[in-house]
Amino acid sequence: MAKLLFVHGTGVRQAGYDETLRLITAKTGPAAEVLPCYWGDLGSRLGAAGQSIPAYDTTRGGLVPEAEALDAQEFPLALWQALLSDPFYELRSLALKPQPTIPAFQQTQGEQLIETARQMELSDALQALLGAGEVPIASFETARRELLASPALRKALQEANEGMGEYRAALARAWITTAAKQLHDDRLQSTGEWCWPALVLDAELRSQVEQLLVDALGGQERGLTGWVMHNLSWPLRSGLSHWGTNWGTKRRGALSDAASPAAGDIMLYQTRGEAIRTRIRERILAAGEPVHLLAHSLGGVVCVDLLSSETLPVRQLITVGSQAPFLYEINALPSLAFGQPLPASVPPWLNLYDPRDFLSYIGGIVFPGRVVDQRVDNRQAFPASHSAYWWNAKVWEAIYSTLPR
């Protein structure tokens, strides 16, 4: 049986690594024995508790990631990205939708929908999918209470009386992202990791949960035009404005928390990377036989550096969402100056990338004849696209095809 040594990327710490390792082990199944290679304990941290950051203690509020420029295909990605920052974004947008006038004493369909959401029981199928998505039922129920108590929901639905399918879908998405964001924020607060549950990262699983919720809430009409997409996509297009100077100044502490350990690991590796390379070398040699290296993000950079510098018992290098080709092109790869060929010590190299993952790059052109690039679609906007590879069936098809039978 092949041995697959998993090397994580930037910003990962022990709890997050353990979760991903379990997922990769489950996805790999009998195709290979998965071995751990955790190095996050050697990564960056705020050694003086943030004392170098102006007003750190008073500027640690939430962040609002920007959304992408949109077309009909990109809109769902940008909408989900906006919802991960603000779960009530779509509901607040729908509150602006014109509605017909009805008698004051008559209950609207929107008010009926609120009551349906309040009384709806979570089916066994839905509970099973939530479990697969790493969302405890208790967290999902807490999200329901938060959603039903929100002024955004009341304002969006109290006068709604037509086109209810769009409202049901918006409510379902708000429910999903309210639960996911709470779990994300709890993880960030307790461990410093920027980590979303699988319910967010697995686009197919998320779609199944969304559909079950919409069906339970009353279903969605055919042929909906999408009022939010056609009338209010411009706020998503202008999402970058949220990153203005005034906004950033008020949240500098939060921005620093988000950058460390993720960006901090990158800077630390570029200046003091030998300890991380040593850790990976030790894990390779401890395997007892040649391994297949599976390396994500910065982990791929470290592995390319290591294998470019010495010959080690590695049958294959598989990089996922890696910056190694880009660093080589800008002459910033520590082990190899631009223009130097990839050494023979580097084994066959499979490189998986997603065009929507802005931290992934292609290597076949800068390393001609030495790298096989495989394009995949994680069905996520950035930055979720950088973490979602492990939930993409096409990623695993590409990996399985290279492992010995």
* Res 71: pLDDT: 57
* Same domain for 38 and 77: no
Torsion, CA 25, CA 29, CA 34, CA 38, rounded to 10: -10
Nearest residue to 177 (alpha-carbon basis) of 211, 140, 152:
140
> For the sheet containing 314-320, what is the strand order?
32-37, 2-7, 291-296, 314-320, 349-353, 371-375
The distance of Cα 134 from the centroid of its chain, to the nearest Å, equals 14
> What's the first-to-final CA gap in the chain, in angstroms?
8
- What is the per-residue pLDDT across 216-255, written as a single tens digit (0 to 9) for each? 999 875 444 467 766 655 455 444 334 334 434 444 444 4
* Helix residue ranges per DSSP H, 137-233: 137-148, 151-157, 164-191, 198-201, 203-217, 227-231
Q: How many CB atoms lie within 10 A of CB 2?
A: 18
Domain end marker among 210, 232, 254: 232
23 & 139 share domain: no
- For residue 246, is it within any domain? no
pLDDT in tens, 250-276: 444 444 444 444 566 777 788 788 999
Q: What is the extent of the structural domain holding 372?
A: 2-45+263-400
Query: Do residues 203 and 332 share a domain?
Result: no
pLDDT at 28: 95
Name the least confident of 15-29, 99-113, 131-145. 99-113
Does residue 291 sit in the same domain as residue 376? yes
Backbone angles phi, psi at 315, to 5 degrees: -75, -35
Residue 395 has pLDDT above 90, yes or no: yes
Lowest mean pLDDT among 53-62, 153-162, 301-310, 343-352: 53-62
326 within 8 A of 335, measured Cβ to Cβ = no
What are the pLDDT digits (tens) for 173-230? Answer: 999 999 999 999 998 888 777 789 999 999 999 999 999 999 999 987 544 446 776 6
Asked whether residue 204 falls in the same domain as residue 280, the answer is no
- Tokens for 202, please give them: 């697995």
**Rounded Cα–Cα distance for residues 253 and 50 (Å):** 8
Tell me how far apart the alpha carbons of residues 354 and 79 are, in angstroms, rounded to a whole number.
Answer: 19
Same domain, 84 and 20: no
Average pLDDT over residues 16-40: 94
83 with 198, same domain: the answer is yes
Within this chain, do residues 221 and 139 fall inside the same structural domain, yes or no? yes
Q: What is the mean pLDDT of residues 146-169?
A: 91
